[in-house]
Amino acid sequence: MRTMDEHTRITLFERLKVQRPNPTTELAFHSPFELLIAVLLSAQSTDVSVNKATKKLFAIANTPESILAMGETFLKQHIRTIGLFNSKAKHIMLTCQTLVDKYQSQVPNNREALESLPGVGRKTANVVLNTAFDQLTMAVDTHIFRVANRLGLAKGKTPRQVEDQLLKSIPKPYLKDAHHWLILHGRYTCKARKPLCNECILNDLCHFTSKEGLG
């Protein structure tokens, strides 16, 4: 696979910027804590299903203290429509207790502290750091992994390899929003099985050729 030159990368992100001037996560949240909980719930689940659950949950409990007061059993009732809700409920309760005990009930804005929270891995930390705190991170999910490799933005066999290369290759003015641009592009255009290549604004820049998408 060829690597994409800087001029092409700038053109690519300028087009994505025009298409979506103010990209953000499709998870509904109103505070860093709500975002953290939503991202923890989103693993192997759709944003739509998470938003349905958190709309009711956050209406009655949207702080570490209020979720702890709710208790794990009651929490499970609110998130039982989400995959892996038992383990997610356990992690959320432990995370809430850690936030109360160590961080004055505030979501920390540094990677080491975030990744020390139960259930929070590198990808979740990257989402929170980028979306809640405007830090220049890149959370590589299945969509971004696919899009980056197809476009030629990053060569990588693992999410971490793709993350490291994207952080180096994406022009800095676009880096804060790049995560959201790429994930939305992968979700709605550069789909896994049937990419909409004929409708893609990046078609002429892309290194990927899909017989299905171009048919």
The 10s digit of each residue's pLDDT in 157-178 is: 999 999 999 999 999 999 999 9
CATH of domain 32-133: 1.10.340.30
Per-residue pLDDT reduced to its tens digit, 34-65 = 999 999 999 889 999 999 999 999 999 999 99
CATH architecture of 6-23+138-214: Orthogonal Bundle (1.10)
Whole-prediction pTM: 0.90
Q: Residues 76, 141, 177, 191: which is the catalytic one?
A: 141
In angstroms, the CA 210 to CA 16 distance is 20
Domain ranges of the chain: 6-23+138-214, 32-133
Q: Do domains 6-23+138-214 and 32-133 have the same CATH topology?
A: no
Q: Residues 76, 123, 177, 191: which is the catalytic one?
A: 123
In angstroms, the CA 140 to CA 181 distance is 12
123 an active-site residue? Answer: yes
* Distant-in-sequence contacts of 12-15, Cβ < 8 A, 24+ apart: 12/151, 12/153, 12/202, 12/205, 13/170, 13/171, 13/174, 13/178, 13/181, 15/201, 15/202
Per-residue pLDDT reduced to its tens digit, 111-141 = 999 999 999 999 999 999 999 999 999 999 9
55 an active-site residue? Answer: no
Task: Please compute Rg for the chain using Cα positions.
Answer: 18
**Contact assessment for residue 207 and residue 150, using Cβ atoms and an 8 Å cutoff:** yes
